[in-house]
Amino acid sequence: MSTQQTTVAVIGLGIMGGPMAANLVKAGFDTVGYNRSPQKVKDLEAAGGRGAASIAEAVADADVIITMVPDSPDVEDVALGEGGLVGAAKSGAIWVDASTIRPDVAVRVGEAATEAGLRPLDAPVSGGEKGAIEATLSIMAGGEAETFEAARPVLEAVGKTIVHVGPSGSGQTVKAANQLIVAGTIELVSEALVFLEAYGVDTEAAIKVLAGGLAGNRILDNKASAMAQRSFQPGFRVDLHHKDMGIVTAAAREAGVAIPLGALTAQLMGSLRQLGHGDLDHSALLLLVEQLSGHTRKD
């Protein structure tokens, strides 16, 4: 599929979908976008894309459709609801759902799409707003291998590490594992930072040396310094990560897999939200460690 002849529809032009659509335009795809609030559509038009007034209009001529919406019910609505894409897309169109949703819902909507003649992939992403803007997202795709290969040129316009991980639903399963590791790592780094502060250690120096050894991770690289400064601008909101921890704990329970650290992290993320911090970046788990410890940072 050549870039020039390919029309890509993007449904959901928010923090993630907006920059992804802009990168599709940049890569030379004929890009048409739809979003519930129309300002985002105008932003895409300003970036060189085409706007649509409905899902049906956006997907009518699309070879590839990307959906990027908040949660499982949103995907069901956008795909199968009144005026949804499954009834409106042309036969043979590829549908890439980049949203993070329940694996079982991904399988179900994928089956409905296949019956309607579409070629579905569940292809959630990791890398956040920064990765979306810089087109460096990690993309974990489930579905038919042939569909994945056909979608690859489009995925390469928005991501860097692009991997087919298995059949329908597998992308969401890997994303669930991703969210478990990310939340758990944030909590581990939070515990380490509050511990180090309590002992009066030079935190910046400690972050540097921890990042250089076997403890090294992307949270130490990208977030720990801001955490030490108590800067929790999202990024990725606690509310959304709480939703994702619900997905992974339910999916693990369903499969009979014990995830003791994942389950405890889910509890802590839920507490943080209940304490009124749902709008902060997920790295605000540090605030909960601090509160549990009766500590505040010494300046």
139 near a second copy, rule: CB under 8 A: yes
Window 183-202: residues binding a second copy (CB under 8 A): 184-185, 187-189, 191-192, 194-196, 198-202
146 near a second copy, rule: CB under 8 A: no
Catalytic one of 26, 160, 175, 243: 175
What string marks each residue from 78 to 117 as x (binds a second copy by CB under 8 A) or -?
A: -------------------------x--------------
Window 271-290: residues binding a second copy (CB under 8 A): 289
Cα separations (Å) of 114 from 11, 99, 144?
A: 19, 18, 11
Q: What is the dihedral of CA 103, 109, 110, 112, to 10 degrees?
A: 150
Residue 233 near residue 281, CB atoms below 8 Å? yes
10 vs 252, beta carbon nearer a second copy: 252
- At its nearest, how many Å lie between a second copy and the CB of residue 54? 33
51: enclosing H helix or E strand? strand 50-51
299 near a second copy, rule: CB under 8 A: no
Closest CA to 21 of 157, 160, 161: 157
218 near a second copy, rule: CB under 8 A: yes
Rg over CA atoms, the chain: 20
- At its nearest, how many Å lie between a second copy and the CB of residue 27? 20
Amino acid letter for position 295: H
- At its nearest, how many Å lie between a second copy and the CB of residue 248? 8
20 Cβ contact partners less than 8 Å away, ≥ 6 residues apart? 10, 66, 68, 98, 132, 137, 158
Q: 175 catalytic, yes or no?
A: yes
Say how many residues touch a second copy, by CB under 8 A.
77
Whole-angstrom distance, CA of residue 11 vs CA of residue 253: 32
160 near a second copy, rule: CB under 8 A: yes
- At its nearest, how many Å lie between a second copy and the CB of residue 176? 7
Cα 290 to chain centroid distance, Å, stands at: 28
Residue 67 near residue 97, CB atoms below 8 Å? yes
Among residues 48, 216, 229, 297, the one that binds a second copy under rule CB under 8 A: 216
61 vs 134, beta carbon nearer a second copy: 134
70 vs 167, beta carbon nearer a second copy: 167
Whole-angstrom distance, CA of residue 192 vs CA of residue 203: 10
Looking at the annotation, which residues are catalytic? 175
